[in-house]
Structure 1
Amino acid sequence: MSTVLDSRSFLRWCWRQLTSMRTALILLLLLSIAAIPGSLFPQRTQNPLRVREYFVNDPETAKWLDRFSLFDVYGSPWFSAIYLLLFISLIGCVLPRSIEHLKAIGAKPPITPKNLDRMEFFTEIEKVDLDLAEKYLKKKGFRIRRDIDSISAEKGYARESGNLLFHLSLVLVLIAIGVGSLFGSKGDAILNVGERFINTPTSYDILGFGKYQSEDSLPPFSITAKAFKAEYDPATNAPLDYTLTINTANPVGSLERDEVIKVNKPLKYGSTKIYLQANGYSPTVIVKDKSGKVVLDGPVTFLPQDGNLSSIGAIKVPDMDPQIGFVSSFLPTADRDLVRGGFSSYPEVLDPRLLISVWQGDLGLNTGVPQSVYRIDTSEMQRIGLKALVLNETYDFGEGSITFTGWKSWVNLQIVNDPGKGYALLGAILAILGLLISLVTRQRRVWIKQGRKTQVAGLAKNAIPGLENEINDLVKELSNER
């Protein structure tokens, strides 16, 4: 029997330690520290190619990093354990306090202590009328407990309400994050102007689902990028505005309609939001083989490298024999100096150049190993040409030819379904509100007791200053009324 009691006592002790505010703060600090590796190392759910590069460049180190789930931080057992412990700690700490606080909201202040001379700022004055004292304290916002020969007054009770609201809001934020990770989805897709996007898994460049979501949960809709306009400050080259005009349709009985997406104005499909995330250029080229047959005709997406949209990309032509790859750069407004070489001096297309380095050999597309569409591994290839092309210029590199025919703007659409986002926002707003209430509210108690003389004293919760002045004002008021 004693063993069972000891075990229960130990469990109660563990529960008290877990649900203490000190433990909750420690767990909150641990959670923020545990999230740091997620920004230092590439994550499989966001950038699988970078993770693969780690394994190629340093397989031993990558293997150890993978053992500790540093490539999948937010889904790792240790991160989930800290998250769940923090959730339990906050619930166990705040919920009982909140229940007790609700019960005590309508309660009267505690009775007047017997020995007021032990309280703060104890003062004795000649006898006064307690009715006058009660009237003054009520005017100052105190709750009153009136006895035959004493008054117990209290104000600032909202301080504890704000404190509890802050911590309950943190619980709401944690719940919202959990709901989003379990029932949400997030994906990115690059779309050239004129192209159509259909909301199916194969249309995404990157797509991740919550634990209880799947491919069948994607809402049916399609988007066609009709036009994209970027405005820049001519003096600073800084972007002023981005506007994407699209044509969208829902196959389930919805008519097509035109919509506008801006950086801070997403398109909504129920709980799914479509954000304009980034933009760049896709040079259009025509590649022909020796016989003059067209083997590639269309835009190739390039990645911007700076604010002026100097971009790099890879034009891969696996259908030629031998295979051909173009390591390329696109300069919207070409310029050049001795140090930087070729670069773009403005983000709009005013004087475009396509710089190409032609490589011949195996592109490595049949190895089964995924590779970036923006780069070419030239370690097993031979360079056979180098050229800077102006618009509509053709370059014959011996095995064929390439013509720079123009460009198209592309946009990166981020498509997010986060059912917990609204609750997280609400929790953040309530947390700030609760924190402000707890910071600006001064909780204190004042007692007045009749005897041979009138005794006045008080108590400031958490030693918050201002009580002395309040008691001095009270004593002054009572002395004047006497």
Structure 2
Amino acid sequence: MSTVLDSRSFLRWCWRQLTSMRIALILLLLLAVAAIPGSLFPQRNQNPLQVKQYFIDNPATAIWLDRLSLFEVYSSPWFSAIYLLLFISLIGCVLPRSIEHLKAIGAQPTITPKYLDRMEHFVEIKKIDLDQAAAYLIKNRYRIRRDENSISAEKGYARESGNLLFHLSLVLVLIAIGVGSLFGSKGDAIVNVGDRFINTPTSYDILGFGKYQAEDSLPPFSLKVEDFKAEYDPVTNAPIDYTLTVRTANPANSPETTEVIKVNQPLAYGSTKIYLQANGYSPIVIVRDKSGKVIFDGPTPFLPQDGNLSSIGAIKIPDMNPQIGFVSSFLPTADRDPIRGGFSSYPEVLDPRLLVSVWKGDLGLNTGVPQSVYRIDTSKMERIGLKALTVNETYDFGEGSITFTGWKSWVNLQIVNDPGKGFALLGAILAISGLLISLFTRQRRVWIKQGRKTQVAGLAKNGIPGLEQEINNLVKELSNER
């Protein structure tokens, strides 16, 4: 029997420790620290190709990192354990206090202590009229408890309300994050100007679902990128504005409509929002074989490497024999430096160049191993040419030819469905409001006791200065009325 009691006592002790504010703050700090590896190492659900490259570059280290779930931080058991413990700790700490606080809201202030001379700023004055003292305290927003020979007064009760609001709001934020991760989705798609995007899983470059979200839950819509305009400062080259014009169609609304998307102005379909995330260029090339037959004709998205949109990319031609790959760079406004070599001096297309390094051999597309569309593994290939092309220039590399015919702008659309986002925003606003109330509310208690003389004393519960001046003002006011 004693063993059972000891076990229960131990469990009660563990619960008290877990639901203490100190442990809640420690868990909150641990959650912040545990999230750091998610920004240091590539995550499988966001960029599996980078994870694969990390295994290639650091095979020994990657194995241990994978065992520690550092490539899947936010779904790892240890991160989930911290998250759940913090959630339980906050609820167990704040909920009982909130219930007690609600019960005490309408309660009267505490009974006047027997020995006021042990309190802060104790003074004795001649006898006063307690009715006048009560009227003065009520006028200055004190709640009072009037007894036969004493008054107990209190104000600043909202401080505890603000403190509890802050912690309850943190619980709301945690719930919102949990709802978003379980029932939300997030994806990215690069779309060239003139192309159409249909909201199906195969249209995305990267797409991740919450644990309880399925592929068939994507809202049905399509959009065609009609136009994209980027404005830059001609002095600093810094972007001024981006404007994306799209034609959208939704089965619920049969006619197409024209919409404008800006960086801070997403297009919304219910809880799904479409953000303009990035932009770049897709050089257009025509590749012919030795006989002059067109093997490839179209744009290929390149990835920007700097603020002036110097971009790199890969053009892969697996249908030629031997297979051909172009390791390329696109310079919107070409310039050259003796040390840096070719680079772009301005982000708009003013004097474009397409730099191509031509390789023949095995592109590795039939190995079953995923690879980046922006890079070529040249380990089993031979370089057969190098050329800087201007618009409409053709380069014959022996096995065929390539013609640079122009370019298109592309935009990266980030499509996010986060059903908990609104609750997270509400929780953040309430948390800040509660924190401000808690920090700046002056919680005071003042007691007045009538005897041969009148005793006055107070207590500043949150240590904010000013209580001494308030008592002096009270004594002065009552002495003048006397």
TM norm structure 2? 0.99
Instruction: Give 1:88 deviation, angstroms.
Output: 0.1
**Aligned position for 1:234:** 234
**Aligned position for 2:40:** 40
Gap regions ≥5 residues in structure 1: none
Instruction: Give 1:253 deviation, angstroms.
Output: 4.9
2:81 is aligned with 1:81:
yes
2:318 is aligned with 1:310:
no
**Aligned position for 1:223:** 223
Instruction: Give 1:252 deviation, angstroms.
Output: 4.1
**Aligned position for 1:99:** 99
- How many residue pairs get aligned? The number is 482
> Quick one: distance in 2 between partners of 1:138 and 1:408?
73
> Quick one: distance in 2 between partners of 1:49 and 1:441?
53
**Aligned position for 2:206:** 206
Amino acid paired to 1:38:
G
**Aligned position for 1:189:** 189
**Aligned position for 1:8:** 8
**Aligned position for 2:342:** 342
**Aligned position for 1:330:** 330
User: What's the CA shift string for 1:357-407, capped at 9, x where partnerless?
Assistant: 111111111111111100111111111111100010000111100000000
**Aligned position for 2:72:** 72
**Aligned position for 1:354:** 354
**Aligned position for 1:296:** 296
Q: CA RMSD in A?
A: 0.8
User: What's the CA shift string for 1:207-257, capped at 9, x where partnerless?
Assistant: 000000010100111111010000111111110110110011013453211
Secondary structure (helix, strand or coil) at the match of 2:264 reads: coil
**Aligned position for 1:276:** 276
Instruction: Give 1:462 deviation, angstroms.
Output: 3.1
2:408 is aligned with 1:404:
no
> Quick one: distance in 1 between partners of 2:29 and 2:115?
43
**Aligned position for 1:176:** 176
Instruction: Give 1:465 deviation, angstroms.
Output: 1.7
> Quick one: distance in 1 between partners of 2:229 and 2:146?
72
Amino acid paired to 1:70:
L
**Aligned position for 1:136:** 136
Contact kept, 8 Å, 2:286 with 2:404, in 1: the verdict is yes
**Aligned position for 1:380:** 380
**Aligned position for 1:120:** 120
> Quick one: distance in 1 between partners of 2:333 and 2:253?
45
Instruction: Give 1:309 deviation, angstroms.
Output: 0.4
> Quick one: distance in 1 between partners of 2:251 and 2:288?
39
Secondary structure (helix, strand or coil) at the match of 1:275 reads: strand
> Quick one: distance in 1 between partners of 2:336 and 2:352?
12
Secondary structure (helix, strand or coil) at the match of 1:414 reads: strand
**Aligned position for 2:437:** 437
**Aligned position for 1:56:** 56
Instruction: Give 1:58 deviation, angstroms.
Output: 2.0
Secondary structure (helix, strand or coil) at the match of 1:413 reads: strand
Secondary structure (helix, strand or coil) at the match of 1:255 reads: strand
**Aligned position for 1:467:** 467
Contact kept, 8 Å, 2:442 with 2:462, in 1: the verdict is no
> Quick one: distance in 1 between partners of 2:253 and 2:412?
27
**Aligned position for 1:153:** 153
Amino acid paired to 1:32:
A
Secondary structure (helix, strand or coil) at the match of 2:288 reads: strand
Secondary structure (helix, strand or coil) at the match of 2:167 reads: helix
User: What's the CA shift string for 1:142-194, capped at 9, x where partnerless?
Assistant: 10111111110000000000000000000000000000000000000000001
Amino acid paired to 1:121:
H
Instruction: Give 1:476 deviation, angstroms.
Output: 1.3
**Aligned position for 2:416:** 416
Moved more, 349-358 or 55-64: 55-64
Instruction: Give 1:136 deviation, angstroms.
Output: 1.1
> Quick one: distance in 2 between partners of 1:270 and 1:182?
18
> Quick one: distance in 1 between partners of 2:55 and 2:236?
41
**Aligned position for 1:369:** 369
Secondary structure (helix, strand or coil) at the match of 1:256 reads: strand
> Quick one: distance in 2 between partners of 1:439 and 1:166?
11
Gap regions ≥5 residues in structure 2: none
> Quick one: distance in 2 between partners of 1:20 and 1:427?
22
> Quick one: distance in 1 between partners of 2:76 and 2:327?
38
**Aligned position for 2:22:** 22
Instruction: Give 1:54 deviation, angstroms.
Output: 1.5
Secondary structure (helix, strand or coil) at the match of 2:348 reads: coil
User: What's the CA shift string for 1:14-55, capped at 9, x where partnerless?
Assistant: 110000000000000000010010000000011101100111
> Quick one: distance in 2 between partners of 1:27 and 1:238?
41
TM norm structure 1? 0.99
Amino acid paired to 1:349:
V
Amino acid paired to 1:111:
I
Moved more, 248-257 or 192-201: 248-257
**Aligned position for 1:260:** 260
> Quick one: distance in 2 between partners of 1:243 and 1:4?
69
Secondary structure (helix, strand or coil) at the match of 1:316 reads: strand
